[in-house]
Structure 1
């Protein structure tokens, strides 16, 4: 009976160890630096040298806010849109909390772009930064017939 229990525990330990290793192999850490508010503002002080690529969905930009000038390319379309991105600018890859931004930064770096790092719009705002909010249009009055 003791051998059966020991064998079962050993098998469970091996299976548990293998599942942790598989999870670690699937999720690779990003190489991108996550930028602070101060670093973002320093980069933005040279607007002719920097480009923000916002990889969020349009509804996220509308609901959370963003920066006044940016190039919007959702993360799933990024690799197909590389030709539209100027190579002479330093890039900030933007998402809500820098996770998708970091993935975008890795893709862009691998493609030869100069990437300063990733940033999160909500993180930037939490650190005291101001985002541009997009106000919904006023309702239109119905046309009189």
Structure 2
């Protein structure tokens, strides 16, 4: 339990770091199709209480959100995260800090579990995976990201 709490704390700390990658991939599928499938990853699926404990110590935490940018903006995510889609995760390994506890995120933890297992297999300290929608269903607060209006839309409003 102490190790899990330590890992969750690390993820929370990393979540406050100003890191972000956004890479679109047509091959990524939303977790909605996986919502009814059982969680099968080796990495533990975390609950709200476990995530909240990790978020309490953001300097030790790294949240890796493996969803597409449109999913993140539509559904929301945690306050600070590193966005690397699942199919690009292996190429991004050199850019992922190794001194923090890692939590992976997707909508219902399906892709997050796969990502967590991959990162753990590559020697990173992964403490668990979570679905942002599952976290919110348990009463957790998810950050909604509102993309800025494009210049074309803003100019059309002023005409």
TM category, shorter? 0.7 to 0.9
Please give the residue correspondences for 1:127-138 in structure 2 after superposition, counting only pairs within 5 Å. 127-138=138-149
Per-residue CA shift, 1:66-105, capped at 9, x if unaligned?
A: 1110000000000111010000000001000001000000
TM value normalised by structure 2: 0.70
Please, which runs of 5 or more residues in structure 1 have no aligned partner?
1-28
Larger Rg: 1
Structure number with greater CO (CA < 8 Å, separation at least 6) is 2
Distance 1:134 1:57 in 2: 13
Distance 2:89 2:141 in 1: 26
Please, which runs of 5 or more residues in structure 2 have no aligned partner?
1-39
Which of the pair is proportionally richer in helix? Answer: 1
Measured at CA, do residues 104 and 141 of structure 1 come closer, stay the same or move farther in structure 2, by a change above 3 Å?
same
Across the two proteins, how many residue pairs are aligned to each other? 117
Distance 1:47 1:144 in 2: 42
TM value normalised by structure 1: 0.76
Please give the residue correspondences for 1:10-89 in structure 2 after superposition, counting only pairs within 5 Å. 29-89=40-100
RMSD: 1.7
Aligned to 1:14: none
Measured at CA, do residues 144 and 85 of structure 1 come closer, stay the same or move farther in structure 2, by a change above 3 Å?
closer
Measured at CA, do residues 143 and 42 of structure 1 come closer, stay the same or move farther in structure 2, by a change above 3 Å?
closer
**Alignment counterpart, residue 96 of structure 1, candidates 107, 119, 131:** 107
Distance 2:82 2:157 in 1: 36
Per-residue CA shift, 1:98-141, capped at 9, x if unaligned?
A: 01000000000000111110000000000001111112435413
SS where residue 155 of structure 2 aligns? coil
